[in-house]
Amino acid sequence: MIPDYQTLMLPVLKSCRQEEAVTSYVIETLAKEFQLSQEDKEQFLPSGKQTTFSNRVHWAKSYLKQAGLLKYTARSHFVITEEGKKVLSENPERIDSKFLEKFKSFQDFRSRKGTRLDKDKPQEETDVLNESATPDELLRLSHKVINDALAGDILGKVRESSSLFFEHLIVGLLLAMGYGGTSENAGKAIGKSGDDGVDGVINQDPLGVDQIYVQVYPVSRKWTI
């Protein structure tokens, strides 16, 4: 299982306790330390541009920098600061966002950026999301949650609609998918509610020689083509 980015904060800080660290080497070393499988190491973010594990290491490093526990020396290179050494000398069992809140620079960072998803969401849900995902993942997760909610609302409205509305909707959908070519008037709904006959027709050519006939009917209020 791939550790979340907050779990990685302490190991990342320890990785530079002796000398300047290189991010790529830290990623490789921590992957072995957490005994990640090849599948885990090759798991990519939805964007396909970065692996999930390396993304979490980068965010752990970024948060530690914002708290002043480490600093960047060059591209992909970083060293521990005196404050970071002080923290490690206290042998903390875990470093996470709550732990970092004690540092003024991190408080300033949080107030500038804001990491809450939605102030109207339950506190428990927000905390779980912040614990298990990086800001990149939170953004994508939020987008997915919104899309799923919207899709559910639309589907619910469609299922509650009249048969006449659904017939027009299906014809419009088929035209949008490319049936009927480029003509805006290639299709039309012709059925009547409850007639159990042909409900729509789409002309595949300008002359209407090749046609697609559409019939829609409800199955337990789940409209079907």
The tens digit of pLDDT for each residue in 159-214 reads 777 777 877 787 787 777 777 765 556 677 776 655 556 677 777 665 555 777 77
Domain membership flag for residue 40: yes
Q: What is the pLDDT of residue 149?
A: 65
Q: What is the pLDDT of residue 215?
A: 73
Q: What CATH number is attached to the domain comprising 88?
A: 1.10.10
Q: What is the pLDDT of residues 89-130, one digit of tens each?
A: 999 999 999 999 999 999 988 876 544 443 333 333 344 445
Domain membership flag for residue 60: yes
How many CB atoms sit inside 10 A of residue 21's CB? 23
Domain membership flag for residue 4: no
Q: What is the pLDDT of residue 175?
A: 78
Q: What is the mean pLDDT of the chain?
A: 80
Domain membership flag for residue 2: no
Sheet holding 70-74, edge to edge: 21-22, 77-80, 70-74
CA angle 134, 57, 19 (to 5 degrees): 150
- pTM of full prediction above 0.85: no
108 and 180 together in one domain: no
State the amino acid at position 69 in one-letter form.
L
151 and 170 together in one domain: no
Domain membership flag for residue 179: yes
Domain around 153: 116-160
98 and 124 together in one domain: no
At 187 the three-state DSSP class reads strand
